[in-house]
């Protein structure tokens, strides 16, 4: 009960600071995933077109995913220095695998008969991609973005160790005082709330973009949503 009282008092006295760190934490996570999506989605489409490249690309991103977050931050810090840019670069690298893999899975999961129908209608490759493949794969791609964002929010917490700021800085403050349980919770609770909220919102978008909702506008048969594994 005392801890809850201390937690409430901390929020009452430092709500502006907590909000600023919350906002910074979210921006770092969002930028990392956004920059990764700009690279990973076209790359996922490319390896779906050229299957021989898929093993190399997915293997490389798998290796990146196995590197511990602190080790990644330490290596990037030597190149980029301290601060939020290093954290964003790290989140960018960690976000590549789920987005590339889900884009690759989504494009390959499009029914070939639908593509053949589009070709029969005289569509070019770009028109097929824009009007058939991407709309039907969009929910699968969104699942990859959902995974990447939730992971990025958790990893961004560690970025406070290299001066990146965010809610992790509040948690570190709590570990540096004798009885800092309330301060640790003051940083941990908003982090958890952000991750849960991001998961729920992205999950809602994923359901809204499922192929069954696109069939009327595309005038094509419904495509069964493929089962994927989030990494």
- Rounded average pLDDT over 51-65: 91
Q: What value does the mean pLDDT of the chain take?
A: 87
Give the angle 192-175-151 at the CA atoms, nearest 5°: 30
The pLDDT of residue 217 is: 40
The CA distances from residue 219 to 100, 121, 134, 138, in Å, are 28, 12, 15, 17
Query: Given this model, what pLDDT does residue 92 score?
Result: 96
Kindly state whether residue 154 falls inside one of the protein's structural domains: yes
Q: Give residue 198's pLDDT band: very low, low, confident or very high (50, 70, 90).
A: very high
Nearest-CA neighbor of 97 among 229, 202, 7?
A: 229
Domain assignment of residue 54, yes or no: yes
For residues 97 and 35, what is the distance between their CA atoms, to the nearest angstrom?
A: 13
Query: How far apart (Å, rounded) are the C-alpha atoms in residues 167 and 29?
Result: 12
pLDDT at 228: 40
Q: Does residue 227 sit within a domain?
A: no
The answer to whether 98 touches 148, Cβ cutoff 8 Å, is yes
The residue segments making up the domain with residue 155 are 2-218
Residue 231: inside a domain: no
Element spanning 162, H or E: none
226 found inside a domain = no
pLDDT tens digits, 145-164: 999 999 999 999 999 989 88
Supply the DSSP symbol for 110. S
Mind listing the pLDDT tens digit for each residue in 67-116? 999 999 999 999 998 999 999 999 999 999 999 999 999 999 888 888 88
Question: Residue 12: pLDDT above 80?
Answer: yes
Q: What is the mean pLDDT of residues 201-228?
A: 60
CA distance 2 to 197: 28
The residue among 140, 112, 157 whose CA lies nearest residue 209 is 140
Q: What is the pLDDT of residue 219?
A: 38
In the numeric block, the tokens 């005038």 are attached to 219
- Residue 230 in any domain: the answer is no
Asked if residue 225 has pLDDT above 60, the reply is no
Is 220 a residue whose pLDDT tops 70? no
Q: Is residue 224 part of a domain?
A: no
Lowest mean pLDDT segment, chosen from 29-33, 94-98, 126-130, 192-196: 126-130
211: confidence class by pLDDT, cuts 50, 70, 90: low
Give the pLDDT of residue 25: 96
Looking at the structure of the chain, the number of domains it has is 1
Give percent above pLDDT 90 in the chain. Answer: 57
pLDDT score of 187 = 92
Give the domain CATH number at 176. 1.10.3720.10
How sure is the predictor about 188, in pLDDT bands with cuts at 50, 70 and 90?
very high
User: Has residue 142 been placed in a domain?
Assistant: yes
């Amino acid at each position: 009960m005392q801890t809850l009282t201390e937690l409430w008092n901390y929020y009452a006295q430092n709500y502006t600071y907590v909000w600023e760190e919350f906002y910074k934490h979210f921006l770092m996570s969002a930028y990392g995933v956004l920059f990764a999506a700009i690279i990973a989605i076209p790359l996922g489409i490319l390896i779906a077109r050229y299957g021989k490249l898929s093993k190399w690309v997915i293997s490389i991103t798998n290796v990146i995913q196995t590197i511990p977050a602190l080790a990644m931050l330490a290596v990037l810090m030597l190149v980029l220095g301290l601060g939020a840019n290093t954290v964003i670069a790290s989140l960018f690298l960690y976000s590549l695998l789920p987005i590339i893999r889900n884009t690759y899975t989504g494009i390959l999961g499009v029914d070939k008969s639908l593509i053949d129908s589009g070709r029969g209608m005289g569509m070019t490759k770009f028109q097929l991609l824009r009007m058939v493949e991407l709309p039907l794969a969009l929910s699968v791609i969104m699942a990859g973005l959902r995974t990447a964002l939730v992971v990025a929010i958790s990893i961004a917490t560690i970025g406070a160790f290299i001066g990146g700021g965010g809610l992790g800085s509040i948690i570190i403050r709590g570990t540096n005082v004798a009885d800092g349980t309330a301060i640790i919770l003051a940083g941990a609770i908003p982090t958890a709330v952000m991750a849960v909220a991001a998961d729920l919102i992205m999950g809602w978008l994923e359901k809204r973009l499922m192929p069954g909702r696109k069939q009327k506008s595309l005038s094509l048969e419904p495509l069964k949503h493929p089962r994927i594994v989030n990494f």
